Amino acid sequence: MKHLCLNLKRFDVPAEMGGVNRLAEGSRWAETIVSRTKDALEQYRGKARFPMYFPEAHVIAAVQAAGENSLIEVGCQSVYRQDVAPGKNFGAYTTNRPAAAMKALGVGSAIIGHCEERADKLGILQEAGVTDTKAVNRILNQEIRCAAAQGMTVTYCIGEKAEERDAWQEVLREQLAIGLEGVDREKIVIAYEPIWAIGPGKTPPGADVIAPIARFIKEQTGGMPVVYGGGLKQDNAEMLASIPEIDGGLIALTRFQGEIGFYPDEYLDIIRIYLSACAE
């Protein structure tokens, strides 16, 4: 089974406001994405799963558009480290996103530990004078536990920064050991993000770099699924499909020049290229 995850970040912001959304007005954005992809994805039933991680405001529309028995797994972008529970806290989590709240809205998956989430948490901790680098992983572990306890699957992102490249094994080992502590690993997919290679002007890694890292992750986790989190695109789909240790990818933007943004038809093309190459 391949895992083709879609992280839609804040791609809902209209282009005229500085964003990349040219698909639909904000209230119809998630509905548009789901309705323009769900039927085409049916041909891959039994071959892949398709979590789509939406900003929270769009979860309800995405769930309604997906309907019953859709291959699309509507997901949210992380959950809070504490949760609602019978006989305990009934929901006093202003501004936060408890896993129970997401589950109640029909969410079945969460992406946790994305490099942008890690950077945000680290920045907050540093403002508070915390220098323990393991603290971020401990917080993420709490989030994973909450999501898993609600029966949600999790895409857990790990990765090293440019200054950590020489110590990448130590960095990834720590992120895995702490982040997965006490977690039902059957519900987890690992996404490897080479943070040092993400962004304009950066050189993306090839199979010679990705394969040994994916192999290391599988060795550390007892063979858990590993997807490439540095961006599954049209121009690297065949290369990633050729790596036996890679079980899928994390898709974000589909177009990087001209009218930059996410486009459903291009998303489906990425999936077609990747899964066709896997079948060869």
Helix (H, G, I), strand (E, B) or coil at 150: coil
pTM: 0.97
Given a contact cutoff of 8 angstroms between Cβ atoms, the answer to whether 99 and 68 are in contact is no
14 phi/psi in degrees, rounded to 5: -60, 150
Residue 185 pLDDT level (bands cut at 50, 70, 90): very high
How far apart (Å, rounded) are the C-alpha atoms in residues 251 and 193?
12
SS (HEC) of 83-115:
CCCCCCCCCCCCCCCCHHHHHHCCCCEEEECCH
Count of domains observed in the chain? 1
* Mean local confidence (pLDDT), 227-234: 96
Given a contact cutoff of 8 angstroms between Cβ atoms, the answer to whether 77 and 54 are in contact is yes
What's the confidence (pLDDT) of residue 202?
82
* Mean local confidence (pLDDT), 233-258: 96
Helix (H, G, I), strand (E, B) or coil at 255: strand
What's the confidence (pLDDT) of residue 100?
97
Residue-number span of the structural domain to which 134 is assigned = 2-279
User: Does 87 or 280 have the greater pLDDT score?
Assistant: 87
Per the residue annotation, which of 73, 117, 143, 193 is the catalytic one? Answer: 193
Q: pLDDT, tens digit, for every residue of 39-94?
A: 999 999 999 999 999 999 999 999 999 999 999 999 999 999 999 999 999 999 99
Q: Can 193 be counted among the known catalytic residues? A: yes
Q: Can 58 be counted among the known catalytic residues? A: no
What's the confidence (pLDDT) of residue 280?
72
Per the residue annotation, which of 58, 114, 143, 160 is the catalytic one? Answer: 114
The domain that contains 40 carries what CATH number? 3.20.20.70
* Mean local confidence (pLDDT), 174-180: 98
What's the confidence (pLDDT) of residue 26?
94
